[in-house]
């Protein structure tokens, strides 16, 4: 009996924490037309002429800070997630892991599924909230690759799981380890995106960033909006934890360049809270299902140091989903739905 194929896809990571490997990673990542969505000529000049040459040494240094004997934390936890999912699903399924950028590649993972004659393929991009630059990029590449096969099996995709009940429960469980009441404020810090990418997802052209508080609730117009889905995740987490609205802030980190990105920026929120006399912050990063550079360094080190320099005392990261059994169960339910 043939198996059903499951393809887990995360963003990616350099193969090594050195400058050449980081250059390869950044080049592939930032040349994606969905990540930097400007004309190819301009994108090439920006990425290959400015960003990659100048950012690679600094980024490689940051990767060395979080690298361990197990390698990249993102890849390490992604491998464990794939292994545990395979064990959970059993022999009727074949689970493969891929990274959108670098290794293991989506193309190789798909070839493994094809070689084993799977009867269908379900793709689960490991991004809770949909964004064109993440989930959309994965879906596009999978469709491009599979469309060239002589025989194409049924292929389906998980578009997002921003409101997944078990995911919410895992984040909440992880937060409770840190005595939530001892913190002055809670941040739900999502990875940022340029505002123009949100605007492109508004097919009406008159809602996104035009209607006041446009992300405060999900509706037919913004149901695929990354920011709106992020706010929904934050609301569900706050409800699970019994947080009143004044106790938490939704914000966005990792801004690149000078153009407007989704706001408020996490760095601005840190300044505001410090000015209000807040001393201890608990920070979720619910756009990631595994701890990585953006959580282990940007929040744990950079934001902690920045907040202390502003007069605060401590920034505490809530660990990601990683290898939590409930998240594996959530993946299994998505895989078999």
Provide the residue ranges of all domains of the chain, joining segments of one domain with +: 4-160, 165-317
In sign, the C-alpha dihedral spanning 289, 91, 335, 330 is negative
Mean pLDDT (whole number) for 76-83: 98
pLDDT of residue 256: 84
**Higher confidence at residue 321 or residue 213?**
321
Mean of the per-residue pLDDT values of the chain? 96
Give the model's pLDDT for residue 98: 98
Confidence bin at 36 (pLDDT 50/70/90): very high
Distances (CA, A) of 136 to 32, 33, 40, 122, 185: 11, 11, 18, 15, 33
Count how many Cα atoms sit within 13 Å of the Cα of residue 337 in the half-sphere of its side chain: 14
pLDDT tops 90 at residue 139: yes
pLDDT in tens, 165-198: 999 999 999 999 999 999 999 999 999 999 999 9
User: pLDDT confidence of 258, banded at 50, 70, 90?
Assistant: confident
- What is the average per-residue pLDDT within 303-330? 98
pLDDT at 257: 81
Give the Cα separation of 279 and 299 in Å (integer). 16
Confidence bin at 251 (pLDDT 50/70/90): very high
- pLDDT for position 188: 98
Would you state the structure tokens that stand for residue 296, as one six-digit string? 């282990």
Q: Which string of DSSP letters, residue by residue, matches 12-73?
A: E--SSSSHHHHHHHHHHHHT-TTTS-S-HHHHHHHIIIIIHHHHHHHHHHHHHHH-BTTB-H
pLDDT-derived band of residue 1, with 50, 70 and 90 as boundaries?
confident
The pLDDT of residue 246 is above 90: yes
User: In this predicted structure, what is the pLDDT of residue 66?
Assistant: 96
pTM: 0.96
More confident residue, 256 or 126: 126
CATH number 3.90.1150.10 given to 165-317? no
Which CATH number is 4-160's, of 3.40.50.1400, 3.20.20.10, 1.10.10.10, 3.40.1080.10?
A: 3.40.50.1400
Give CA torsion, residues 147, 117, 160, 188, to 10 deg: -120
SS3 178: coil
Which helix (H) or strand (E) segment holds residue 94: the answer is strand 93-101
Q: What is the DSSP string of 228-274?
A: HHHHHHHHHHHHHHT--GGGEEEEEE---SSS-BSSSBHHHHHHHHH
The C-alpha atoms of residue 221 and residue 211 are separated, in whole angstroms, by 11
263-316 pLDDT per residue, tens = 999 999 999 999 999 999 999 999 999 999 999 999 999 999 999 999 999 999
Q: Is the pLDDT of residue 133 over 90?
A: yes
Domains 4-160 and 165-317 fall in the same CATH topology: yes
């Amino acid at each position: 009996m043939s198996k059903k194929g499951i393809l887990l896809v995360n963003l990616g990571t350099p193969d090594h924490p050195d400058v050449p490997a980081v250059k390869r990673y950044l080049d592939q990542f930032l040349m994606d037309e969905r990540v930097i969505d400007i004309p190819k000529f301009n994108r090439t000049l920006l990425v290959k002429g400015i960003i990659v040459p100048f950012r690679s040494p600094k980024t490689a240094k940051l990767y060395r800070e979080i690298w361990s004997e197990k390698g990249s934390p993102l890849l390490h936890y992604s491998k464990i997630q794939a292994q545990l999912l395979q064990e959970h699903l059993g022999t009727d399924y074949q689970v493969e892991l891929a990274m959108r950028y670098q290794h293991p590649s989506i193309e190789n993972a798909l070839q493994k599924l094809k070689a084993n004659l799977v009867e269908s393929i379900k793709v689960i991009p490991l991004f809770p909230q949909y964004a064109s630059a993440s989930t959309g990029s994965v879906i596009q590449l999978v469709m491009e690759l599979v469309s060239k096969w002589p025989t194409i099996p049924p292929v389906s995709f998980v578009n997002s799981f921003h409101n997944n009940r078990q995911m919410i429960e895992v984040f909440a469980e992880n937060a409770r380890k840190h005595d939530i009441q001892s913190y002055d404020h809670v941040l739900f810090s999502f990875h940022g995106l340029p505002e123009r990418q949100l605007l492109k997802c508004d097919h009406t052209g008159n809602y996104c960033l035009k209607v006041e508080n446009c992300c405060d609730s999900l509706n037919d117009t913004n149901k695929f909006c990354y920011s709106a889905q992020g706010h929904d995740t934050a609301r569900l987490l706050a409800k699970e934890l019994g947080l009143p609205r004044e106790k938490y802030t939704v914000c966005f980190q990792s801004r690149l360049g000078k153009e407007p990105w989704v706001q408020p920026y996490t760095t601005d929120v840190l300044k505001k809270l410090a000015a209000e006399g807040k001393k201890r912050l608990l920070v979720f990063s619910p756009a990631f299902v595994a701890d990585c550079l953006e959580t282990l360094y940007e929040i744990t080190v950079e934001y902690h140091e920045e907040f202390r320099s502003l007069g605060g005392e401590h920034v505490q990261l809530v660990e990601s989903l990683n290898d939590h059994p409930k998240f594996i169960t959530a993946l299994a339910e998505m895989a078999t739905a």
